[in-house]
Amino acid sequence: MPARARKAIRTLWRCRRGVTAVEFALTLPVFLGLMGAAIELSFVMITSMKVQRLATMTADLVARDGASEHRLTEAQIYDILYAMDVAAQPLDVRGRGRVIVSAVMGQDLDDNGTGDTNRIMWQRFDGGLTRAPRLIGCWSITDRTSGIPRQLNAGEPLFHAQVSYAYDPMFSRAFVKWLQVPEVITRTATFRGRGAIYHPVLAVEGYTPKDDCLSASGL
Amino acid 190: pLDDT? 93
Could you tell me what percent of the chain has a pLDDT over 70?
87
How far is it, in rounded angstroms, from Cα 189 to Cα 212?
Answer: 21
Cβ 197 vs Cβ 72: under 8 Å: no
Per-residue pLDDT tens over the stretch 121-142:
999 999 999 999 999 989 888 8
Would you say residue 6 lies in a domain? Answer: no
Q: What is the pTM of this model?
A: 0.82
Would you say residue 137 lies in a domain? Answer: yes
CA dihedral 160, 97, 137, 116 (to 10 degrees): -10
Phi, psi of 77 (to 5 degrees): -65, -40
Would you say residue 12 lies in a domain? Answer: no
Would you say residue 13 lies in a domain? Answer: no
Q: Average of pLDDT values for 85-105?
A: 91
How far is it, in rounded angstroms, from Cα 136 to Cα 164?
Answer: 13
Number of domains within the chain: 1
Would you say residue 215 lies in a domain? Answer: no
Would you say residue 26 lies in a domain? Answer: yes
Q: Average of pLDDT values for 189-198?
A: 83
Domain span including residue 61: 20-192
Mean model confidence pLDDT for the chain: 85
**pLDDT at residue 74 is higher than 70:** yes
93 conformational bin, left if phi > 0, alpha if psi -120 to 50, beta if neither? alpha
Per-residue pLDDT tens over the stretch 31-59:
677 777 778 788 888 999 999 999 999 99
Amino acid 54: pLDDT? 94
Would you say residue 10 lies in a domain? Answer: no
Amino acid 143: pLDDT? 85
How far is it, in rounded angstroms, from Cα 90 to Cα 84?
Answer: 10
Cβ 88 vs Cβ 82: under 8 Å: no
Omega before 149 within 30 of 0, i.e. cis: no
Would you say residue 201 lies in a domain? Answer: no
Amino acid 131: pLDDT? 93
